């Protein structure tokens, strides 16, 4: 499973620096590429590869152009790897979590924060942010036999939110 990444949010595209670009693409794109490549080489036939991406690749959000574009590369890589590894019966998928409490830039967000209050209405399932367990459940599904015929897909884990 590839699950490394760094975020820069609230940074308009016009203000992003080359240093920020290089850092995000080195970790989020290059890191995912070589992690998935190495894992694919080590996997036995019939194995599973899972990438953790970002819901920001589904729907654009102002201030996340640099971050979401760095995460889009691995989403496309998953689709290509699914085709290349399919003959070995290896499935390759990506999970696209939305706001996950305690993860990334949301590490310090609590239910009392304005961010949570504003975004609660966007989450039809209980109005709560996702949890690491929600993402783990999706990974368990994709890693298991029930998803043996699912490959090259992006699973949005969002509590019903469209992004």
CA distance 63 to 66: 8
pLDDT of amino acid 94? 97
Among residues 2, 32, 67, 94, which one is catalytic?
Answer: 67
pLDDT of amino acid 105? 47
Active site residue 67: yes
Strands (E), 24-80: 48-52
> Please, what are the averages of pLDDT over each run of 10 residues along the chain (163 residues)?
77 95 95 96 97 90 91 95 98 91 54 54 64 93 97 92 67
Domains delineated in the chain: 13-157 (3.40.50.720)
In angstroms and rounded to an integer, the radius of gyration of the C-alpha atoms of the chain is 16
Contact by Cβ (8 Å): 63, 106: no
Largest separation between any pair of C-alpha atoms in the chain = 50
pLDDT digits (tens, 9 = 90+) for 29-63: 999 999 999 999 999 999 999 999 998 899 888 99
Whether the model pTM is above 0.75: yes
User: Helix (H, G, I), strand (E, B), or coil: what is residue 156?
Assistant: strand
């Amino acid at each position: 499973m590839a699950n490394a990444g760094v975020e820069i949010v609230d940074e308009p595209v016009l203000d992003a620096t080359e240093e920020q670009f290089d850092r995000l693409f080195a970790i989020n794109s290059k890191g995912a590429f070589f992690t998935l490549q190495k894992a694919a080489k080590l996997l036995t036939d019939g194995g599973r590869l899972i990438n953790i991406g970002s819901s920001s690749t589904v729907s654009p959000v102002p201030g996340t152009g640099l971050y979401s574009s760095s995460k889009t590369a691995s989403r496309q890589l998953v689709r290509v790897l699914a085709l290349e590894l399919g003959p070995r019966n290896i499935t390759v998928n990506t999970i696209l979590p939305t706001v996950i409490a305690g993860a990334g830039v949301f590490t310090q967000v609590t239910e009392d924060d304005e961010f949570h209050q504003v975004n609660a209405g966007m989450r039809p399932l209980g109005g709560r942010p996702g949890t690491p367990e929600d993402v783990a459940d999706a990974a368990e599904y994709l890693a298991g036999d029930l998803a043996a015929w699912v490959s090259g897909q992006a699973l949005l884990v969002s509590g019903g939110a469209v992004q």
